[in-house]
Structures are given as structure tokens and as C-alpha cells.
Amino acid sequence: MTEAAPTLSLTRPDDWHLHLRDGPTLAAVAPDTARRFGRAIVMPNLLPPVTTTAQALAYRERVLAAVPAGLSFEPLMALYLTDETTPAEILRARASGAVAAVKLYPAGATTHSDAGVTDLARTHGALAAMAETGLPLLIHGEVTDPQVDIFDRERVFLERSLLPLIERFPRLKVVLEHVSTREGVARVQDGPERLAATLTPHHLLLSRNAMFAGGLRPHHFCLPVAKREEDRLALVEAATSGHPRFFLGTDSAPHPRRRKESASAPGGIYTAHAAIELYAEVFEQAGALDRLEAFASFHGPDFYGLPRNRERVTLVREPWTVPASLAMGEEELVPFRAGERVAWKLAG
Ligand code: NCD
Ligand code: ZN
């Protein structure tokens, strides 16, 4: 008699940092997320970016149209902060009920961030309105100063920009997105209750060695770049510690294979096809599977002041092989772990 594979039942998780893109890419990738997650914060770095409430509401409809019938998935929209964002736009976003956060990309920090903020001082009016109305600021926390080593960009951002910002706006809720360093983890642990961080599956699973293993590996390149093994261990410790201000945010970011395998590959790793399964691997390896549910399904909604999901999902410990590539409209997408195994599988 063979023993049944172990299973894990969780409150349906949410993804607090996700790139869905638009058009045929959106249609191709949205089902992966909608099958696993109840809600997701949909990043606004489209071309052109989602800078107004009207654009966010229209994008929300396009996302909903890409969700397969029978799945209940709620997109939570984010506005793209620019030097020109007005306090009135923030109030409109809040009043819409559909915008859950505002995203700060320092101009030039990452994919489609050219329209981002050039000088934080120019956003003070918008930030004051956010603090007033309770809309959280989601931060891509890297300086763009070309003098700063790419592996130090998050650390320098913490000192130069994050600390002054938190002090200047004592009521502003802030999420340090895709935290990638042990110093980032420490800042959140030592910071106020209104400061939280999201953790991606790839930063929990890879150190920077993975970008150079046996040759240059563009499918392991994301921003912020993966750091040292000691940083990765600090991220795993934060995720699995039960600390309520660390929660799930995949930063799943699809790019066509032809661009990822070109002479200048954009940052971004696609994990939506196996997102909760990959987190389960991390928690299992850390001997903390009993803490996965709080990290994936409780800490996020608690921080955002939203209700926890009521449905459940089941994971089975049944290894499966990720396809070598996925169709993405006319393009091909190389998913994380392409051609390799993932230990956990989503049931149903
Ligand atoms: C993201 C993308 O491709 O939109 N890329 C990435 O490397 N994470 C942008 C981002 O979140 O930085
Ligand atoms: Zn992102």
C-alpha cells in the first residue's frame, strides 16, 4: 500500500506585488495568479503608466476580463506616483474604492520606471494626502545613482531615502517591496508598526550566484538583484519567523523570452505559475510549514486593513516538472524552474 502524499490546507493567499501587463500578455498570465490567489496588488508600470484613477479603473476592467470564468479573483489597483501626482488625484483614488495603494518607482530604477519620481520632495503633497486618507505607499527601494554599486542600491536607499521619508510622514503606511538585504529586513523589524515588507519567492530561493551558475542566466535576473547567501538567509528567517509585517508579494514579472535572452535582458522573473508552491518549498526547508498560512494569507490583509479571505486552497507534496516554456500571446515565456521540479502542487 502506498502512503498518500502529505497535504497542506491554507486560507486562500493574496499576492501583494504582481505584474500582469496588458493585452495578450495579461490574458496569458492572469489565470496562473487567479487560480492560486484571492486578490493581488496589480503593479501600474505599464506603457504608459497607470497614473490616474480613471486609468486604474479601466485597467481593472481589463484584468477582470482576463480572469477565467468560475474563479473569484479581485484585482487591487495601484497608482504610479510621479512628480506631478496631485493630492486631488490621491483623494479620487481613495474614493474610488478600487485603488489600494500608490507605487513609488525612483525614475530609472527598473523596468518601465522612466516616468517615476525624480525627486521625492516633489511628491510631498501627494504623500501628505496618502497619509491623511490611509493609502499605503509601496516602494521600489533602490537608489538610481550610477555611482552606487548595484548590489548596494537597496542598502543606500534605506539610509538616504526611507528613513527620512518615514520620519517626515509619521502617519504614512509604507511597504518596502521585494526586500533583498539583511539590512532591509532589520529596518522593518526595528521600524514602526506602519512599515512592512514583501518577500518574493525568488529572493527566498536564490542568491546572486544563481545569476552566474555555469554562464550568465538572464532568467534569474530581477531588480533588485539577488544578493549574498547571508542576505537570503535573513530573508528566509524574516518570512518564516511569524513576524506580522512580512508578507507575500511575488513580483512575478513576465518578459518575452526573446527579450530576456537578448544582449540587454530586462529584470523580472515569472513565478505566478508556481507561486504558492515555491513559498511552500521555502517554508518546508526552514521547518516552518505551520507558519506559511499567516505569511501568505493573514499578514497582508491585516496590514492593509482588509478582511482575510474565506475560501481555502490545498497543496499536495507531489513533485512536478515545470514546462520549459509557456505561451504568452505570440511570444514565449520562460517560467521560473523551467524544465525542473517543484516539490508542491496545487490541488484541483
Ligand atoms: C519588474 C518588471 O519587470 O516590471 N522587474 C523586476 O525585475 N522586478 C519591475 C520591478 O518590480 O522592479
Ligand atoms: Zn515589481
> In this predicted model, which residue has the larger pLDDT, 163 or 3?
163
The pLDDT assigned to 147 comes to: 96
Residue % of the chain over a pLDDT of 90: 97
Q: How far is the CA of 110 from the centre of ligand 2 (A)?
A: 9
Active site residue: 15, 32, 231, 251, which one?
251
Predicted pLDDT at 5: 86
Banded pLDDT at 269 (limits 50, 70, 90): very high
CA of 40 to the centre of ligand 2 (A): 12
Closest alpha carbon to 222 in 234, 241, 205, 238: 205
Report pLDDT digits (tens) over 60-70: 999 999 999 99
Strand duo 326-328 + 137-139: pairing = unpaired
Residue 111 CB less than 6 A away from ligand 1: yes
Summarised one tens digit per residue, pLDDT across range 222-259 is 999 999 999 999 999 999 999 999 999 999 999 999 99
The verdict on the CB of residue 20 being under 6 Å from ligand 1 is: no
Domains of the chain: 14-305 (3.20.20.140)
The pairing of strands 137-139 and 174-176 is parallel
137 lines ligand 1 (CB under 6 A): no
Identify residue 2 by its one-letter amino acid code.
T
3-class secondary structure, 342: strand
Mutation to probe ligand 1, out of 16, 19, 20 (largest number of atoms < 8 A from CB)? 19
25: helix, coil or strand? Answer: helix
Three-state DSSP class for 315? Answer: strand
Residue 288 backbone class (left: φ over 0; alpha: ψ -120 to 50; beta: rest): alpha
Q: Which atom of ligand 1 is nearest to the CA of 113?
A: 9
Percentage of the chain lying above the pLDDT 70 cut:
99
CA–CA distance, 333 with 50 (Å, rounded to integer): 24
Structure-block grid coordinates of residue 162: 526611507
- Report the pLDDT value the prediction gives residue 229, as an integer from 0 to 100: 98
Residue of 346, 269, 330, 343 whose CA lies nearest to 34 = 346
- 336-346: b (≥16 Cβ within 10 Å) or e: bbbeeebbbbb
